[in-house]
A and B are shown apart, each in its own frame.
Chain A
């Protein structure tokens, strides 16, 4: 849209993220992007399922995985999804300050997650010699987890850019869709994590 539609409580539409044509386009385009991402992760899951028993003599999942750390990571990421919901709630109430605050909490949790994941990888590599190259299982594991972790990291920097960019602008119809779409993305990678948790860790521990 051509003009800055700064918002005040009276002119606030019910769904600011979809109030302009551009916003609507972004919204639907992003949903289909997530559809494509779903297929992307589905292919990685398929690969993982096809290869997770091909350990080539190296360690298998049930020897490697420690559920404590994974549990902490899950809590971190799920909580961050919740805090991003709060942020969007404040966006809809046109409270820019609170929205920013909750987004900052969200990315702190996200960094916590990435930190744990890096620690986990480091542990596998140094303690078990379990690497991207050591077996097909290793390749599939790091590809799936790495893709997901990469998505999380990308999301973190994306939000940082959004926050810096809009710090002085306040909320308007131009940036509301951007924040909203980010939160969709964030929920999406959260859901992917739930699948990773189940398919990789729980099933790996049992199987």
Chain B
């Protein structure tokens, strides 16, 4: 292809041109707005360069919501296209692009960002720390993720989106069958944000292992922190596999190597294996923090402590280990022998055991509890049955012989949505609602929140239950249309209506944020939920230094103990607090990463080499710079604390 041809969209349509204009206008509006209100300096000093885990968490959160909408629009278009037989809203190529970007955006850029957002915000508070172990690395992680996400989304308007599925199997994803630069974007954008995720993993492991408040033994950590620890361990041991797979995919596409090609000895199944060696642990990276969130919310609103703390921890450890030994279940049909399939069938079904233990522990926690039906609790209660259905159908898929029937049908699509949505998405909204007052100092409106819940929960069921039926009837996934005679029409129409319900739910969520920001009371005290763990022992919203005095802990529900059993959390006087300085280098470095990614997508070697040098220069700069952080004086702490208390 000619050099400049590559920048054009291969299959343009009015929608894409309209989006180009919309993106252009939005960018202009943002730039103009920031300039008009003179907010550039504020943005740079307080947010872009921040090393404060709370602010980084909030930036992750906003990006995740943004990506939720991008992915959501893709989803609506897919459901609209398949709502009736032989629809012509989208052609096959557009449909392929949309299911690809939907999957990638939702998993990599939405769900991952959302869990990392909540981990960032909550974990240091739950363990009584001032910040994460490597605050500046944390900023770099965020910006790498963000630049990766932007690079990926850019494919929509420059050069064309990837269309080989979020799993990007070779040889389909090779140059021969995916000619446009779309798959280059896939490889490089995920790579860049994956590097950020890996750093987050290391950062949080170090934080949780080394920076807990005095007295907080491992077995006295709040359950969300436990889930974060295990999740980050999985990240560190799973993401490098993706790094390697993506690097090799990139080289096949750009430099003509033969890892996954069908000629010169390449092995396309190698990609499938590497992808899922990362991919299955990845689904547990998403679900474990969600489990952690439910383990915080359920005891709080059942007003009982968590049933089976030890077995909760043990089952998470077991899940994390097993998750590395089941990957073949994603391609039972692709040519291994019966023995290999049987082994992986058994390991797959084994995961249901620790998962079941957790479900029962939550049920036992609810048993005889005085349940308060708040919004976070509603999501937790909705999660239990829907997730169980998703999990049980997972076990069905895990039986390799039966999977020949289910594989690549809508049945599979129903399975994973019915684990991921109640698992991850419900948990994220629940966690968001629950910790919102910690972040912003006011609560989200409960009434709108409940409506939102019913739309989202109802929408989920309506959108995905019909797929079990059409899937068993033989409707294949990823097909852009079907004939009238198949009889799939009715099920797909129901799905479409469900998807509209979900969409309405998300719109309500945003409306709730807007509404509560305007009207909610700011006078909520420090503990509006009557909660249990340490993050509630400081103010709402949390001051920069988190805790004026480092808390002393003697149980996993330290704050509850301090309220009910007279445990003293804060002993001693204020001392000067040492805090890290902000830095612009990570942001600059991430921009260079973005340029590097873009240059590689379009094979612009000189730009790529220059950016690589730039990245190394940033690294070197770090080791040559003098940065000792700054101190918050005792007077300042006294002043802040007095104000915070006075405001209540």
Contact = CB atoms under 8 A, between A and B. Distances in A.
B213 to A, nearest CB: 13
Given A29-B203, A40-B243, A47-B270, A132 B264 contact: no
B236 A43 contact: no
Interface residues of A, number: 39
A55 B265 contact: yes
B202 A33 contact: yes
B255 A133 contact: yes
Nearest to B259: A139
Contacts, number: 125
B247 to A, nearest CB: 8
Interface in A25-78: 25, 28-29, 32-33, 35-37, 39-40, 43-44, 46-47, 50-51, 54-56
A165 interface: yes
B217 interface: no
B264 A24 contact: no
A140 interface: yes
Contacts of A165: 623-624
B623 A162 contact: yes
Interface string B164-207: 00000000000000000000000000000000001001110111
A11 interface: no
A54 B265 contact: yes
A136 B207 CA distance: 42
Contacts of A79: none
Contacts of B237: 35-36, 39
Contacts of A136: 258-259, 261, 264-267
A46 B257 CA distance: 17
A47 B620 contact: no
A93 interface: no
A82 interface: no
Interface string A155-187: 001000110010000000000001000000000
A88 B48 CA distance: 38
B241 interface: yes
B205 to A, nearest CB: 5
Contacts of B261: 136
B239 interface: yes
Interface in B44-65: none
B240 A43 contact: yes
Given A29-B202, A29-B206, A47 B259 contact: yes
B265 A137 contact: yes
A145 to B, nearest CB: 13
B265 A135 contact: yes
Interface residues of B, number: 47
Interface string B216-254: 000000000000000000001111110111011001100
Nearest to A3: B628
Given A29-B205, A35-B236, A134 B264 contact: yes
Interface string A1-13: 1110000000000
Nearest to B576: A2
B259 to A, nearest CB: 5
A191 B143 CA distance: 33
A54 B257 CA distance: 13
A204 to B, nearest CB: 16
Contact of B244 (A47, A51, A134, A161): A47
A133 B236 contact: no
A21 interface: yes
Nearest to B236: A36
Contacts of A44: 244
Contact of A39 (B240, B248, B251): B240
Contacts of B628: 1-3
A129 B415 CA distance: 50
Given A2-B628, A136-B264, A40 B258 contact: no
> Which 9 pairs, one residue from A and one from B, show the smallest C-beta to C-beta distance?
A54-B265, A136-B265, A40-B240, A139-B257, A43-B244, A29-B206, A25-B133, A39-B240, A56-B264
25 contacts: A25-B210, A25-B211, A29-B133, A32-B202, A33-B202, A35-B236, A35-B237, A39-B236, A39-B240, A40-B243, A46-B274, A47-B248, A47-B270, A50-B267, A51-B266, A51-B267, A132-B251, A134-B264, A136-B261, A136-B264, A136-B265, A139-B258, A143-B251, A143-B259, A161-B624
